[in-house]
Amino acid sequence: MPLVYGVALKYLKRPEDAQDAVMQLFEELVVKIKEVEIQSFKAWLYTCIRNNCLMEIRKRSKNLSVSLDDSFMEFCDDFHLTVVSESENREESLRECVESLPEKQRISVKYFFFDELSYKEVEERTGFSLKMVKSFIQNGKRNLKLCLERKGVTSNGMD
């Protein structure tokens, strides 16, 4: 358990969050351990805690908020419409680029990034091997980045 906690702390940074992640993982292990054939328990356990932490980080990044007090709104008044417009353009460009990916890359990227599935879950849903899933996602990310660059959109953290 101390090793699992150490991994969680490395990813989540806060001791309380790391403790919660470890407790959540051990609750899930009761079910997972029956479903999976484990060849190296230590490596499998590390992968499980890492994936749980990464999923938690993804959830947090979606729920970021900004205080919209009066002074902030006054400062950003001129700025607001252009930011919304740029964001909508970026989103539309991303949608177009995702749809232009080859089918296997598109499916893998959508499951991994939009549905927030792990590599293993993408493998189970698609029937692709784990190596293929990782390859499709990596190539899909590269192709998305190139497509967005062609459209003049910056990647903002897609690397």
Select 68-153's CATH number: 1.10.1060.10, 3.20.20.10, 1.10.150.120, 1.10.10.10.
1.10.10.10
> Residue 130: what pLDDT?
92
Cα–Cα distance measured from residue 148 to residue 143, given in angstroms and rounded to the nearest whole number: 9
> Residue 79: what pLDDT?
40
Three-state SS at 113: helix
Domain coordinates of the chain in residue numbers? Answer: 1-64, 68-153
CATH fold of 1-64 reads: Rna Polymerase Sigma Factor; Chain: A (1.10.1740)
Cα–Cα distance measured from residue 117 to residue 114, given in angstroms and rounded to the nearest whole number: 8
Cα–Cα distance measured from residue 107 to residue 57, given in angstroms and rounded to the nearest whole number: 22
Residue-by-residue pLDDT tens, the chain, 159 positions? 888 888 888 888 889 988 998 898 888 888 888 888 888 888 888 888 888 888 888 887 765 555 545 444 444 444 444 444 456 677 888 888 999 999 999 999 999 888 888 999 999 999 999 999 999 999 999 998 898 888 887 655 444
Confidence (pTM): 0.46
> Residue 88: what pLDDT?
67
